[in-house]
Structure 1
Amino acid sequence: MIFRTLAGQVKRYPGLIPQVIFICLGMGGAGLYLARLAKGPYVTWDKTNNPEPWNKLDPTYQYKFVAINTDYKTLKKDGPEF
């Protein structure tokens, strides 16, 4: 229903085409970013088999999306092994 209305508006007003395209691109990018965050090492979906998945990570694992000043390959682990 809403797509039929949107298609009718775009046919009547062709100037809406770029706006619809950018809105769809923004929503798609936000959805992909949320999907990427949902698969992170600090997210627990199954608490019975792996309640603390972040304890199994390497100290050289890059947590940030973009690390500009940090070289994760040269880091050493400071804490004990669990």
Structure 2
Amino acid sequence: MFRLLARQAKKNPGLIPQFFFISLGLGGASLYLVRLAVSPYVVWNKKNNAEPWSKLDPSYQYKFVAVTTDYKNLKKDRPDF
């Protein structure tokens, strides 16, 4: 494989940057996949609670946004009608 690439690069020197950037892209993609494989957000063990959100009952209190703002100190941004 590398001999073929070296032969092609000797015949056509304009292909050297293309080989470099393709190799760089493949290396980056493989590093991304390795990083994704060790990520805690990827579930590899699907037998032990793979989707914990599906086991919540309908009365569970979801907390989407926690905003703590003192409304008394805010300036009015609209007129009173």
2:26 pairs with 1:27: yes
Which amino acid is 2:42 matched to?
Answer: V
Structure 1 consecutive aligned stretches of length 4 or more whose deviation exceeds 6 Å: none
2:15 pairs with 1:8: no
CA distance in 2, matches of 1:19, 1:33: 21
Q: 1:31 to 1:37 in 2, by over 3 A?
A: same
CA distance in 2, matches of 1:15, 1:42: 42
Unmatched 5+ residue regions in structure 1?
56-77
Contact 1:44 1:52 in 2 (8 A): no
Compute the displacement of 1:40 (Å). Answer: 1.1
**What TM-score comes out, normalization by structure 2 length?**
0.53
Paired residues for 1:1-82 under 5 Å: 2-45=1-44, 51=48, 78=63
The number of equivalent residue pairs is 55
Unmatched 5+ residue regions in structure 2?
53-62, 64-81
CA distance in 2, matches of 1:7, 1:46: 43
Identity of aligned residues (%): 58
**What TM-score comes out, normalization by structure 1 length?**
0.52
User: Taking CA–CA contacts closer than 8 Å with sequence separation of 6 or more, which of the two structures ends up with the larger relative contact order?
Assistant: 1
